[in-house]
Structures are given as structure tokens and as C-alpha cells.
Amino acid sequence: MTYMKSYKEWLDNPYFDEETKKELLSIENNEKEIEDRFYKNLEFGTGGLRGVIGAGTNRINKYTVRRATYGLANYILNKCGEEGKQKGVVIAYDSRFKSEEFSTETAKTLAACGIKAYIFDSLRTTPQLSFAVRHLGCVAGVVITASHNPPEYNGYKVYWTDGGQVCPNIAEEIIQEVNKIEDYSTIPTTNEDNELITLLDETVDRAFIDAVKEQVIRQDIIDKVGKDMKIIFTPIHGTGNLPIRKTLDEVGFKNVAVVKEQEMPDCKFSTVEYPNPEEKAVFDIAISMAKENGADIIIGTDPDCDRVGVVVKNNEGEYVVLNGNQVGSLLVDYLISNKIDEIKTMNNPTIVKTIVTSELGANIAKSYGVGCVDTLTGFKFIGEKIHQYEIRAAHVANDCVRCSKHEEVATFIMGYEESYGYLVGTHARDKDGVVSALLISEMAAYYYDKGMTLYEGLQEVYKKYGYYKEELKSITLKGIDGMEKIKSIMSHFRNANIEQIADIKVEELRDYKEGINDLPKSDVLKFILEDNSWIAIRPSGTEPKIKFYFGCNGEEKTEVDNKLNSIMEFITNTVENI
């Protein structure tokens, strides 16, 4: 069906409500807009849906949410049958526009298919959804969120029985079920008061916070300085406000101030351009507060509270944002050094990071005798590793002589990625802003007790392991033309036989589309240079972007800065000429 036929079908079919038709009539003279909304179905990718809110097959709306849910329901029914129906699906949502509505629509379609649905009475964090899947014994979970995207976006992420986001093998089968659905009017739904829909009480909240508190490493340090160290926290209008402040208070951090202007849920994210803790601008109000009260640390979480940003004072007394690689490396060093006696007793203790994350954390771990495993980009792959380690450990415990993977048994210590996502503990199987905020505060307290800032702690790490610097460059290319441009860029770097980048020899080109180290095949390229610098290139799986990751290291900052700038300039000039 062409985009115009699809557009007219939505206007003529009584299945679609009048509000939707009114929106579509408002663009009847704008063929380019009609094309963009209807030239394809909003793709159910390896994690679910994400798109601009609006009417049309290439937008996220209650109809595309129902379609995704019907595909998920059919997969559950085919794979799990009656057991899947009884275990049910737990659903959470964040503070975005239409999140609650999409959550309800998800529950109604599941119930119409005979599958139990558990919904929260108000917004909850993504890591709590991950926790709730296993805590409630559900077959799957869904969270309605577009993470840190602009306000016009929303999304739909699917989790499986282990509490992790669905990985490619399951996702592909769900995608097949979703793609079978061509006629929206055949998708079942029911009323909100259906007996298969259960409203959850606060017991899941209590269990989640208790599980997070179990990850405290140095309660003695918190008891000593927790009342004195000044923390400013901002949930950036999202879900993190209540669980993070409650957790910090209960463990002993009593000097926590919230950014009032950003405290309450707001689907417009009215104080920021993007609700992304990777952007320094989201901390402008918090930094103003910090300058007034002399705060020691600022912590901010994105709308669904899985990413965490950290602001600390540098040596000149200015507040600076630490990036995800820096915070992750600091956490690796703090966690391992303060639990080293316990870690030494573990079976192959291991941290897990992504292929686009700095090597600094890996080198720190190795210096303590802790292993490091790389996964593809996306925390779902880190969650998958946790699940694999548990299965293999169970095989060993049960003396499974037929298991051929005993040598891969490992104990998960920590997982993290450069995009501000961290997980300590196995209570969740996704990056967790709540446990991260707790342990970052504890780590800051550790340095505070030594008369140091986190920034000074980072400089100590650099002195010991060398100076590391990473950068990310994203290029947004929207629509059909943008999609073709992204394909052309990937094709060029894959096939151009580039031997040098900024006068540094290319030692290796890793094409993850071919499959590397037993990782799933993925459209990612990584250039390894002879001085251990690296460049990774990948199209975003959730946005119309292509991303370039850069990493360099050396003995001192000026050397690394110059090298990184030269590499980035080479790549930028190459892209402009494609």
C-alpha cells in the first residue's frame, strides 16, 4: 500500500477515532508530511518502538502501540501458551506526553488476548520495571519511554523473563509477529476494568529500594560524612525524584536538595531543550544552586531514570560535567578497590562494558585481577551477560558434565556504557539510575572524607593509568534521504580500504556485521589504530542519526587532545565528501 492509500485508509476507516482523523486532515495539503507519516510502519526494532508522537503508521500513537502489543502477545502465546498468560506482563511508564495512555492501551490489548497485565498507579523508573519483571515472576515487561529524547518523542521497550531488554534472537521473532499485522482494525482491545488487569500497590516499590540499598559498599563512610556532604539532585522532570531521594535519605545522606524547577513531572521538559544528562545545559539551574550553597556534587537523571549525569568542582572551583566514561571508570576503581577481599573469593570476577566505551575501566579492572568483557552497544547485551553467567553458574553447581561452557563461568561485578548508564548488583538487568545515584554519592563521600572532590579522584586515576579521552559526534539525517545517506556513509567506511587516519596506521578494522567474538551481527565498524586510538561508527537504532565514537590515550593531556582533534577532523572531512 502506498503512503497516500494508507493515509486515506486511516481517514476512512471507522476504527480510527475522530481526534486522529482531525490531526490527519490538518496535513491534507502537505504531501511531504503525509509521506513521512505513512511511507512505512514505525519499525519495531531490537528493543521496541521509538518515534515522534502523532497520527500515522510511522508515528507512535495508541494504534501503533496496540500493534506492537498484539505482536508481543502473539509471540507470548506461541512460545509460552497458558503459562505465559498466567505469568503476565508488567508495564511501567514515564513522564512523557501520552505515556500513561500508551501504558493503558498496552494493558488493554494484552488482556484482550487473555494475558494478565500489571500496571503501576503512576510513573515509575525503567530500572524498577526491569526489577519488577523478575520480582513478580512475569513472562515479560514493557516500559513506555523515549529515554532522553526531545519532548515530541515517546517509545515502547520490551523486556523478557530475565528482566533484561529483549535481545536480537527474541526481538526478531517478536518483530515477525508485529509485521504480520497489516489491518489495524483486527487488533483486539478491552476495557480498563478487565479482570486480567491488576493495579500494583507500593510493595514493589519497597522491594526495589531495599534491593538497591543492598549495594552499599562503605556504610561506615556514609555514616561519617552523609550529614555533611552537600548533594543537589535533579530528576529533570522525570521519574527519579521519589526513589532516589528516598534511597539516599534511608542510607544516611541527609543533606540533599532537589532542583525545585525540575522536581515535578513535566511532559514538555520546559526548563531544558533536551532532558539529557549528557548535556551540560540541563544542569544550569542546579549549578546556580550549587554556587549559592557550595554543593559538593550535583546528580541528574533522565526522564526514565536509567542514565545519570554528574557535576563536580574542578581544581579551579568551577562546576564541570563528568562524562560517562569518566564516571564509569571511577566507579570501577572505587568498587573493586573497596571490595577487593570479597572479589578475590569470587569465581572469575568480571566487569562488562560496550565496544564503544573507554578502555580505561577495563585496564583498571585488569590491574586488580578482574576480567573485562565487551558487548555490542546497548545495555540489553550487558543484561544478557548477567543472565548467561547465572545459567552457567547453575550448571556448575548442578555438576552438569554435558555443559561445554564451564570455562566461561563468571561473576558479574559491574556493567556500564559510555552513554551515562551503570549497573552494580543484579537486582535489575538494565542500567539503573537509582543504584548509580546512590553509589556515586557514596563514592563522592569517600573522597570527601579524604578532603578531595570526585574531580581530584579522577586525576589520581589518570596519574596511575594514563590520560584517556573520548568524544562522540552524532549526525542527524532525517527522512528517506537521511536513511540513504547513513547507508552511504557506512558503505564508504566499510569498503574504502582506509590504511591511515590522521597519519596514524590503521592496525585493524573490525566489522561487527560479520560477527566478532561470538557477538550478534551488527552494523558497526571499529577502526583500531597502531597507537591504541580507536574510532567506532554505527547508525543509531532509535533515532535518525549516525554516531561516531572516538577514543585516545597517552601520558599527558595535550598530547591526547591534539591526537583526538586530528582524528576527529579526518573523519569529519571524509563524511562531508561522501
d(CA 309, CA 328): 11
Secondary structure class of 424 (helix, strand, coil): strand
Q: What's the distance, CA 514 to chain centroid?
A: 25
- Is-contact 434 248, C-beta < 8 A? no
The closest of 19, 55, 263, 238 to 143, measured between CA atoms, is: 238
- Is-contact 309 300, C-beta < 8 A? yes
Only one residue has cell 502477545, namely 73
Instruction: Give kind and range of the element (H or E) at residue 543.
Output: none
Known catalytic residue: 358?
no
Crossing angle (nearest 10°) for helices 454-465 and 324-338? 80
Catalytic residue among 95, 103, 130, 147: 147
d(CA 438, CA 45): 32
Only one residue has cell 526513589, namely 243
- Is-contact 50 23, C-beta < 8 A? no
For 291, phi then psi, to 5°, come to -65, -30
C-alpha cell at 532: 591504541
What amino acid occupies position 317? Answer: G
- Tally the residues of the chain: 578
Only one residue has cell 501520552, namely 98
d(CA 515, CA 101): 40
Torsion of CA 39, 43, 49, 51, to 10 degrees: -30
Residues 6+ apart with CB under 8 A from 125: 92, 94, 239, 240, 243, 304, 305, 306, 432, 433, 434
- Is-contact 157 303, C-beta < 8 A? no
E-strand ranges in 408-503 read 411-417, 421-424, 467-476, 500-501
Residues 6+ apart with CB under 8 A from 256: 231, 232, 233, 245, 248, 249
- In SS3 terms, 267-336 reads as CCCCCCCCCCCCCHHHHHHHHHHHHHHCCCEEEEECCCCCCEEEEEECCCCCEEEECHHHHHHHHHHHHH
- The per-residue b/e assignment along 172-183, b for 16 or more CB within 10 angstroms, e otherwise, is ebbbebbeebee
Secondary structure class of 453 (helix, strand, coil): coil
The set of catalytic residues is 147
